[in-house]
Amino acid sequence: MRSLGPNEILFILAAVRWTLLLSVFAFIGGSIGGILIALMRSGPIKPLRWFAFAYIKIFQGTPLLMQLFLAFFVPGIFGFDVDPWGAAALGLSLHASAFLGEIWRGSIEVVPRGQWEASSALGLRYWNQMRLIVLPQAFRIAIPPTVGFLVQLIKATSLASIIGFVELTRAAQVINNAVFQPFTIFGLVGLTYFIICWPLSAYSKRMEQKLALATR
């Protein structure tokens, strides 16, 4: 059995870059899907609203772990070879798009109806209403919950270890299997997640307070 040394600790800390990279990819993919889901959910076309509603319920109502398993194994059934990185990015992006879509749909609906009515009186169609009037206001409202969800997404990347993607948690498992010092290793991992997530949580809370003061 090996002893825990600087090389083992550096191996764990080096895996932080994969956690952050996976979080960025998942957030970008989730943002693209999320804005589409939010627009469909709040739009005037009923079939699209139903589709967005079903999409949100499916991904919010099933475990993320199961979604990652499906993203990893289902493409192989159809002859597509997906590595753990691609499966983790796909699964987390689909998961994020459902939650971000619902967050942003709520932010859109918080915009006062008077704004919609005024833009309609100016002759703006739905897409121009959204682009010019509603979305700029909804964006400001959506910042705190979006940042809060990003924190959850960063922590959720740890589940990608179950399909073999070597991020922070998986790297800690590998080292722990060699040195068997779980308290030290996973304590370090917990501290690392805290260092990453705490500034974002603090920023989200501060933005919520500013928004509350601005709406009084």
Q: Which residue has the higher pLDDT, 203 or 34?
A: 34
Residue in 204, 196, 93, 209 with CA at minimum distance from that of residue 148? 204
For residues 190 and 160, give the distance between their C-alpha atoms in angstroms, rounded to a whole number: 16
Determine contact, residues 8/2, Cβ cutoff 8 Å.
yes
76-115 residue pLDDT tens: 888 888 899 999 999 999 999 999 999 999 998 888 877 7
135-155 residue pLDDT tens: 888 888 898 899 999 999 999
For residues 96 and 123, give the distance between their C-alpha atoms in angstroms, rounded to a whole number: 35
Go through 140-162 and write b for each residue having 16 or more CB atoms within 10 A of its CB, e for each that does not. Answer: ebbbbbbbbbbbebbebbbbbbe
User: What domains sit in the chain, N to C, each tagged with a CATH number?
Assistant: 6-214 (1.10.3720.10)
Joined tokens for residue 106: 């709520």
pTM: 0.90
* Number of residues that this document lists for the chain: 216
For residues 26 and 30, give the distance between their C-alpha atoms in angstroms, rounded to a whole number: 6
Helix (H), strand (E) counts: the chain? 10, 0
Q: Which residue has the higher pLDDT, 137 or 214?
A: 137
